[in-house]
Chain A
Amino acid sequence: MLEAADLMVFYENMLALNNIGVKCAERQIVGVFGANSAGKSTLMYTLSGIMEDIRKKEEMAGGERITVLGQIEYLGQDIMGLKPSARARKGIVLCPERRRIFKESSVIENLRIGGYLASKSQAKETLDYTFELFPPLKRLKKRIGGFLSGGEQQMLAIGRALMAQPKLLLLDEPLLGLSPLIQSLLVRATRGIRDERGISIIITEQYARPVLPIVEYAYILENGAAVLEGSRDEVLNNPDVRSAYFGMSEQ
């Protein structure tokens, strides 16, 4: 479905992504794991096209020069250089790190903004699905986004991304700063989204353990390069990875 090859991103002279190739098949959940500064968010921005936007803004303000090289093929088309809005129209939707919900709009308004690309019936159907997936949101419909708790905000962010009718959903650190209970709820919901809606998902996380059960293929990033990739079991059985990313030590 999505195949990115030889991705390189430079922030001025700093290499943020080094020759990374990522593949995501239809109805697959792909995990991207790595520590801070490994390049997870850069990868997500590059895939979703936000990087084009950042690059342009930096250029206008006379800041850093950002260079993006490589190929991204999506559904048989080259989407490199497309604007983020065009990519969203093609079905690549990013749920950004730190949620970035519209803080001054209510929950229902947030969701309706997310549904800009959907037809009326689609939007209604997805809205119902979102409320079914995240029951707390239904209760908080009229609440202003900024007053929600972290977990509720994350649910809202995922719901908003779903409203855009994605074919490929990019979840950038969805578990950041959440309690284990909410984490497991979100992980279950993520699997539900894939199973029930047939959406492919690329998910990034620092600590792989909570999302591991649902991931089918995983990439481990270190300093902008993919040091290891493989199916869940392959990655899981690598002793270095086990201790570093999954919190399991060899006894």
Chain B
Amino acid sequence: MEQRRKERLDRGVKVRSDGLYALMSWRELSYLTLPRLVLILGIIVLPFVMPNMYWQRVISIVCIYALLALSFDFLAHFLGLVSLGGAFLIGVGGYISAILNTTFGLSPFVTIPIATIVGAAVCTLLLFPCLPLRGVYFAIVTLMYPLALKRVIEALDLFGGTNGILGVDSFPNSWVEQYFVIAMVLLFLFGTRRLVNTDLGLVFRAVKDNDQAVKASGMSITYYKAIAVFIASGMGCLGGACIVHIFMWSGISLFALDFSIIPIAATVIGGGGTLVGPVLGAFILVPISELLREFGTLRIVFYSLALMAFIVFRSEGIMVYGERKYHQFERWVKV
């Protein structure tokens, strides 16, 4: 009986473009740069092709989810910290930005950077106690903070209590708003991709693989985890600060569980560990959930069914699958 198996091989153009040879021909250069260009240009033209104001607003929200998904993927697949605290980051960043804007009258372009950095510092500080630990502690603590903060604001009537902070300045116009968040997504996407390949990123991945060996090499895992949490919280807080200026309002709905769950779903769909995947996942998931809005409450059912089908049939994620198809081809060979 003749036995055959399917073989996977790297495409010739991939092998050629691995080294310096890539600079020598347009074919190899475009093989390397085209996917990135398609992604960047695709996101940039997106606001133009949107039919109306409503969908342009959706683009901004998608970008904020993309930032959160990026932050989740970075922490989960490069540090081994599973964060369920998207809502926590959004809330902290959002409230800081809103307070700065309404009390001190600072413009959004000043409050957003401040909220990003101060918010990231606050989040890192609050999460610091569970950083030396391994396991579910980080996930649980990040899940609890938004729930707790929401009730604290409600009960003590802080920052406007249940009414929230009204009258936050918006961006000058909707184009600035969209392109600002789009630029931020691209900046952080390519920034983190670069970061995980530096020496620092190497240590991050080592912490994920075996934290005891990292300790034995004389490095403090708490220190490195704190750096990573600072970066990831920065992304989340930036998203929160933007969302406050988009909706011109800050309230306890910033601590909604959606901000924690959808980024995780986006990471699953896009392919964890690729960093691009989660961004793509957000660009697929959030619009779908908007499209399903006319089904009312049933949309959650469709949404979860789609997610489950995805996990069962394509659990590797779009990006992992796509990268493999792009770099490799398959053929049957006789054994």
- A and B: partners? yes
**Residues of chain A having any CB pair with chain B under 8 Å:** 8, 10, 12-13, 60-62, 65, 67, 69
**Cα distance A8–B8 in the bound complex, in angstroms:** 17
Question: A residues within 8 A CB of B321?
Answer: 62
B317→A62 contact, CB < 8 A? yes
Output the nearest chain A residue to B313 by Cβ-Cβ distance.
A60
Shortest beta-carbon distance from B1 to chain A in Å: 10
Complex CA gap A69/B335 in Å reads 9
Check if B288 is an interface residue, CB within 8 A of chain A: no
A62 touches B316 (CB 8 A): yes
Q: Are B5 and A69 in contact (CB under 8 A)?
A: yes
3 smallest CB-CB distances across A and B, nearest first, come from A62-B316, A67-B5, A62-B320
Q: Is the pair A65, B316 in contact by a Cβ cutoff of 8 Å? A: no
15 A-B pairs (CB sep. < 8 Å): A8-B3, A10-B5, A12-B8, A13-B7, A13-B8, A13-B9, A60-B316, A61-B316, A62-B271, A62-B315, A62-B316, A62-B317, A62-B320, A65-B8, A69-B335
What residues of chain B lie closer than 8 Å to A67, measured between beta carbons? Answer: 5-6
Contact of A65 among B3, B6, B271, B315 (CB under 8 A): B6
Which A residues lie within 8 Å of B335 (CB)? 8, 69
Residues of B within 8 A of A62 (CB): 271, 315-317, 320-321, 324
Give Cα A67–Cα B271 distance, bound, in whole angstroms.
24
9 extra A-B contacts, CB within 8 A, seeds A10-B5, A62-B317: A8-B3, A13-B9, A61-B315, A62-B271, A62-B315, A62-B324, A65-B8, A67-B5, A69-B335
Question: Chain A contacts of B315 at CB under 8 A?
Answer: 60-62
- Count residues of chain B with CB under 8 A from any CB of chain A: 14
C-alpha gap A67/B6 in the complex (Å): 8
A170 to B7, CA, bound (A): 31
Residues on B with C-beta less than 8 A from A10 are 5
* A61 contact set on B, CB distance < 8 A: 315-316
Nearest Cβ on chain A to B135's Cβ, whole angstroms = 13
Name the prevailing secondary structure of the B interface residues.
Answer: mixed
Q: Among B320, B321, B324, B335, which residue has the most Cβ atoms of chain A within 10 A?
A: B335
**How far apart are the CA atoms of A171 and B226 in the complex, in Å?**
44
Q: Give the distance in Å from the alpha carbon of A172 to the alpha carbon of B315 in the complex.
A: 32
0/1 string, B1-33, CB within 8 A of A gives 1: 001011111000000000000000000000000
Residues of A within 8 Å of B8, CB to CB, are: 12-13, 65
Q: How far is the CA of A145 from the CA of B262 in the complex (A)?
A: 40
Instruction: Kindly state the separation between the CA atoms of A107 and B309 in the bound complex, as whole angstroms.
Output: 41
- B243: min CB distance to chain A, Å: 33
Q: Which residues of the other chain, B, contact A12 by a CB distance below 8 angstroms?
A: 8
- Residue numbers in A under 8 Å from B3 (CB-CB): 8, 69
| Distance of A10 Cα from B321 Cα, bound (Å) | 21
- B324 neighbours in A (Cβ, 8 Å): 62
Closest beta carbon of chain A to B273's beta carbon, Å: 10
Q: How far is the CB of B12 from chain A (nearest CB, A)?
A: 16
Q: In the complex, which of the residues B6, B9, B316, B324 has the most CB atoms of chain A within 10 Å of its own CB atom?
A: B316
CA distance A12 to B7 in the complex (A): 7
Question: Which B residue's beta carbon lies closest to that of A57?
Answer: B315
Q: Which residue of A lies closest to B272 (CB)?
A: A61
Set of chain A residues within 8 Å of B316, measured between Cβ atoms:
60-62
Q: How far is the CB of B286 from chain A (nearest CB, A)?
A: 24
The CA of A53 and the CA of B324, in the complex, are separated in Å by 22
A contact residues around B320 at 8 Å (CB): 62
Residues of B within 8 A of A13 (CB): 7-9
Complex: how many Å from CA A60 to CA B5?
A: 18
C-alpha spacing A8/B333, complex, angstroms: 14
Kindly report which residue of chain B lies nearest to residue A61, judged by CB atoms: B316
**For B5, B7, B320, which residue has the most chain A Cβ atoms within 10 angstroms?**
B5
Contacts of A69 in B (CB 8 A): 3, 5, 335
| B291-335 contacts to A (CB < 8 Å) | 315-317, 320-321, 324, 335
Query: In the complex, A163 Cα to B315 Cα: how many Å?
Result: 36
Q: Which B-chain residue is minimally distant from A68 (CB atoms)? A: B5
**How many angstroms between the C-alpha atoms of A136 and B206 in the bound complex?**
38
Expressed in whole angstroms, the Cα–Cα distance for A8 and B320 within the complex equals: 27
Closest to B319 in A: A62
Q: Which B residues, 116 to 155, have Cβ-Cβ distances below 8 Å to chain A?
A: none
Looking at A8, A13, A62, the one whose CB has the most chain B CB atoms below 10 A away is A62
Nearest CB on B from A237, distance (A)? 34
Taking the nearest CB of chain A, how far is it from the CB of B214, in angstroms?
21
* B281 CB to nearest A CB, Å: 15
Query: A65 contacts which chain B residues (CB < 8 A)?
Result: 6, 8
B176 to chain A, nearest CB (A): 39
Within the complex, the shortest CB–CB distance from A64 to chain B, in Å, comes to 9
Contacts of A60 on B, CB cut-off 8 Å? 315-316
Q: How far is the CA of A60 from the CA of B324 in the complex (A)?
A: 14
Query: Which residue of chain A lies nearest to B271 when distances are taken between CB atoms in the complex?
Result: A62
For residue B182, give the distance in angstroms from its CB to the closest CB of chain A: 29
- The answer for the CA separation of A130 and B272 in the assembled complex, in Å, is 45
A26 to B104, CA, bound (A): 86
Distance between A20 CB and nearest chain B CB, rounded to angstroms:
13
Contact residues in A for B317 (Cβ distance below 8 Å):
62
Indicate with 1 or 0, residue by residue over B83-111, a CB within 8 angstroms of chain A CB atoms: 00000000000000000000000000000
